Amino acid sequence: MKKHMLALGLVATVGLSSQLQAEEELKDIHVYKSPTCGCCTDWVDHLEDNGFKVEVTETNDLNPIKIDAGLTPSLASCHTAFVGDYVIEGHVPANDIHRLIANAPKAKGLAVPGMPAGSPGMEMGDRKDHYQVLMFNESGQTRVFAEHN
């Protein structure tokens, strides 16, 4: 009986350890951005402040990355990131990325098209534009994932 309980304890510990490792890996996010874009740097800071471990690659040509990621021009913004199997385009709030990871929907990723004032990295004093975070699939179809004011 004691051996059986010990074995169950080991299995539970290994399972929990594997789950925690997987969750930790999903907090690793790789951001591609222009070396001269200050709002992108501010968005990276926002991610780090909200628990993400961020790797940044600076490039002057983001188009091949966006094309390889399957992004349509209507979803485009100033930076592209990858977390797990998901694509994150633009100034998506960290809380929305955390919710995406936690719920793990069948989707290609999230996007905030353009550069709306008041989104993370685009703070402009009291100005806050209403904007939507769009979830998109492999075909480029979108639906509203979140709305922010």
3-state secondary structure 77-144: CCCEEEECCEEEEECCCHHHHHHHHHHCCCCCEEEECCCCCCCCCCCECCECCCEEEEEECCCCCEEE
Which one-letter amino acid corresponds to residue 30? H
- Give pLDDT, residue 28: 97
Is there a domain that residue 112 lies in?
Answer: yes
Dump pLDDT digits (tens) for 87-100: 999 999 999 999 99
Which residue bears the tokens 């179809």?
Answer: 141
> What is the CATH classification number for the domain harbouring 44?
3.40.30.10
Domain assignment present for 1: no
pLDDT above 70 (res 18):
no
**C-beta of residue 65 within 8 angstroms of C-beta of residue 82:** no
Q: Is residue 101 part of a domain?
A: yes
Residue 124 resides in a domain: yes
Residue 13 resides in a domain: no
Question: Mean pLDDT for the chain?
Answer: 88
Instruction: Print the domain residue range for 127.
Output: 27-148
Domain membership flag for residue 4: no
Q: Does the pLDDT value for residue 26 go beyond 80?
A: no
Residue 11 inside a domain? The answer is no
Number of domains in the chain: 1
pLDDT at 25 over 80: no
pTM over 0.75: yes
Mean pLDDT value of segment 59-70: 96
